[in-house]
Amino acid sequence: MKTRLALRLGLSLYAALWIGIVPASAQNHFPLEMLNIKPVGSAPNGMPSSSRIYRAYPGLQYNIKAAVIGGNYPYSYVLSNAPSGMTVNASTGEINWPNPQGNASPTLTVTDQSGARVSGTWPITVSANGFRFIDANNGNDGGAGTLASPWRTVGRAKAAGSPGDIWVFRGGVYALQTTFGQLINPGTSRYQAYFNPSQNSTIWIAYPGETPVLDYGYGGNAGSGQYFPTISMEGGTTYVEGFETRNTQHFFFITGGIGQGPQFRKLTMHTQGYGWQESGSNASFLMFEHASPQSYGSVITDSVIYDGGLGVKHYDLLKPLISDNQFYDLINGIEEKAGPTQFTIRGNRFTNIGRSGALEWAIGGNMNSQNGYLVTGEVCFNLVRMANLSDEAYNFNWSSNSGTIAAYRNTFIGRVTAILVDSGDGPFTINNNVIVNNDNVPNRVWFDQVTDASRITISNNLVGDPSANIVDANGNLTGAYAQYVGTRGYQIGAGGGTTLPNAPRNLRVTP
C-alpha cells in the first residue's frame, strides 16, 4: 500500500503535474434510487417486516425520512394512497403521521430535477405488539415494559425483551455504566454493551417530543491503556433516532450488517473522550467496521456531531448515505476508509474542523479498495469551513486504488487535495464547486504525489483566496458573485441565495 508523504511541502514539486487536465461538466454518475422505502423483503437488501418503517404504535407519532441517492438533486416528494393525517415534506422527504390508528400501505414518489422518478410502496402495521417502553425517571424494572408500565433500565429491557422489539425511550439520562451496568464486558480496547437483532432490540427511538440522553461516563484517554465504553450493534434492522449521546470515544460501533444497513437519525452527539489520534482505536462518534458482504443503504441524517475527534468512520458499505448533518468543533469530519462502494456525502455542514495540529480533514480518508470492493462515490452540496485554510476541506484517494469519485456543487473553504493518484485510480472529477484557500496552485487544488494528472478532471469551479471576497462569513456567495448561486457551490436557488432544504442550523448546541 502506498504511503502519504510530504502533504505540506512547497509548490514546486507539484506544478508540473497539472499538464493534461481537461474540462469536465459531469455531475453525479449514479442512478436515482430510494434506499429505505420499499416492500417487505424486496431486493437488494431484503428488509424484514420487523424494520422500523413498517411499524407504528397506535396514537404515537410515526415519523420517518426517505433516503434517496443519485439522480439530479434536489428532489421533490409526493405521497399517494396515504392514510388520513399522513403528510410528506415535499422538499425533504420527511413523512409524518401524528395519530396512527389503522394499518396502511402508502406510496412515495420521488422526482429529481431532470424528471426521473422512483416510487416505493410499503406496508405499515399499527399495533402495540413488539413495542417496549423504557423510562429512566419513572420506570420500574418490575413493570411490564408497556407505555403504562415502562421499564427503568436498558439492562432489564435486554433481559426481558424479545428480538425484533422496538424500544421507545422516554426523556431522561441513561448512564452506560449504571443503568447499562450489567451489560458491560471488558474487551481489548473498549467496554461494549452488545446488541444483536437475533437476540434483542437494535431499534431504538425517542418518545415523540422527548430527548433521552445516553451518557457513557468516559473522559479519559484510550491511549493510556484505559478501556472506554461503547454500544456495539450488529447491522441488519438497526435504527436509532432522537437521542443525545455524550462522554465516550465510540458512541455506536456497528459490526456485521449483512442485508439492510443501519439508520441513524436526529441524533445530537458530543463530548468525545480525549486520545482519538493517539489511541489507534479507530475512535469516532459513529464507527462501521469491516463487513463482508457489504451491508446496503446505511443512513446517517439530520444529526449534529461536535466537540471531539472524528465524526463518522466507515469501511465496507454499499450505497451509504450521509446527508443533512452538522459537524463542528472536531479534528476530522467524515473518514471514508476501505471498501465503501457508491457512497454519497450530501448536504452536510462542517464548521471549525481541524483543531489538533495533526492531519485534519472534513471529508476524506484512505479510500482504498478492499475485499474486492471498489471505492466509488460522490460528494455534493456540502458547506465546509475549516479552522485553518491549510487544513483539508476535501481529500481523495489517500491510499490509492479508488474508483470513480465526483465532487460537485460544494463550497470548500480550506485545502482541496488529490493524493497518490496514478494511472490505475479514478477517474476523479472536481466541478462546479466554490474553493477558497491560500494555495497558489492551478484551480486551488493541491497535488500530493500525483503521477497521472489525466485521471483528474477539473472545471467550472469558482476559486480564489480570501481577499477575493467570494463568500461571506457564513460561507454563502457574496453579492459580487450572486449570479453563481445555484450553479457553483452548495447553495440552491438561482438568484435567491437559499440553502438546502432541511439544512441544519449553524448554531452551537449547548452540552
Instruction: Note the pLDDT tens digit of each residue in 188-226.
Output: 455 667 788 888 899 999 999 999 999 887 766 555 445
- Residue 115 vs residues 66, 107, 109, 118, 204: alpha-carbon distances, Å: 18, 18, 12, 10, 36
Q: How far apart are CA 355 and CA 306, in angstroms?
A: 12
**What's the confidence (pLDDT) of residue 17?**
28
Pairing outcome for strands 172-175 and 212-215:
parallel
Q: How confident is the model at residue 501 (pLDDT cuts 50, 70, 90)?
A: very low
**What's the confidence (pLDDT) of residue 504?**
35
Return the closest-CA partner of residue 35 out of 340, 325, 319, 378: 319
**What's the confidence (pLDDT) of residue 198?**
82
Q: How confident is the model at residue 46 (pLDDT cuts 50, 70, 90)?
A: confident
C-alpha grid cell, residue 509: 448546541
Could you tell me which residue, 281 or 283, shows the higher pLDDT? 283
Could you tell me which residue, 43 or 393, shows the higher pLDDT? 393
Q: How far apart are CA 380 and CA 411, in angstroms?
A: 9
Return the closest-CA partner of residue 414 out of 360, 468, 450: 360
**What's the confidence (pLDDT) of residue 31?**
93
241 sits in which H/E element? strand 239-241
Within 248-308, residue ranges assigned H as helices are 276-279
337: Cα separation from own chain's centroid: 14
The residue ranges of every structural domain in the chain are 56-124, 131-179+199-425
Q: From edge to edge, which strands make up the β-sheet containing 131-134?
A: 131-134, 166-169, 203-206, 239-241, 263-265, 299-301, 321-323, 343-346, 377-380, 405-408, 428-431, 456-459
**What's the confidence (pLDDT) of residue 511?**
25
Q: How far apart are CA 145 and CA 488, in angstroms?
A: 52
Pairing outcome for strands 117-121 and 107-111:
antiparallel
Pick the range with the lowest mean pLDDT from 71-80, 309-318, 374-383. 309-318
Cβ–Cβ under 8 Å, residues 238 and 292:
no
DSSP reduced 3-state for 240: strand
Average pLDDT over residues 61-86: 97
DSSP reduced 3-state for 90: coil
Task: Decide if pLDDT at 14 tops 60.
Answer: no
The matching CATH number, chosen from 2.60.40.10, 1.25.40.90, 2.40.128.110, 3.50.50.60, for 56-124 is 2.60.40.10
Cβ–Cβ under 8 Å, residues 157 and 220:
no
Average pLDDT over residues 239-250: 90
C-alpha grid cell, residue 194: 452488545
Q: How confident is the model at residue 287 (pLDDT cuts 50, 70, 90)?
A: confident
Cβ–Cβ under 8 Å, residues 236 and 202:
yes
386: Cα separation from own chain's centroid: 18
Could you tell me which residue, 135 or 233, shows the higher pLDDT? 135
Could you tell me which residue, 379 or 359, shows the higher pLDDT? 379
Q: What is the pTM of this model?
A: 0.90
Max distance between CA atoms of the chain, in angstroms, equals: 73
- Residue 199 vs residues 195, 332, 349, 374: alpha-carbon distances, Å: 7, 35, 37, 33
Q: How confident is the model at residue 13 (pLDDT cuts 50, 70, 90)?
A: very low
Q: How far apart are CA 269 and CA 498, in angstroms?
A: 27
Q: How confident is the model at residue 28 (pLDDT cuts 50, 70, 90)?
A: low
Cβ–Cβ under 8 Å, residues 215 and 175:
yes
Could you tell me which residue, 468 or 367, shows the higher pLDDT? 468
Q: What is the pLDDT of residues 443-489, one digit of tens each?
A: 999 999 999 999 999 999 999 999 999 999 999 999 999 999 999 99
SS3 content of the chain, % helix, strand, coil (to 5): 10, 35, 55
* pLDDT above 90 coverage of the chain, percent: 59
Q: How confident is the model at residue 273 (pLDDT cuts 50, 70, 90)?
A: low
Return the closest-CA partner of residue 425 out of 453, 442, 403, 447: 403
Pick the range with the lowest mean pLDDT from 156-165, 309-318, 464-473. 309-318
**What's the confidence (pLDDT) of residue 310?**
87
**What's the confidence (pLDDT) of residue 367?**
77
Return the closest-CA partner of residue 75 out of 477, 439, 347, 382: 347
Q: How confident is the model at residue 86 (pLDDT cuts 50, 70, 90)?
A: very high
Average pLDDT, the chain: 83
Cβ–Cβ under 8 Å, residues 121 and 106:
yes
DSSP 44: T
DSSP reduced 3-state for 65: strand
Q: Which residue has 443512513 as its cell numbers?
A: 299
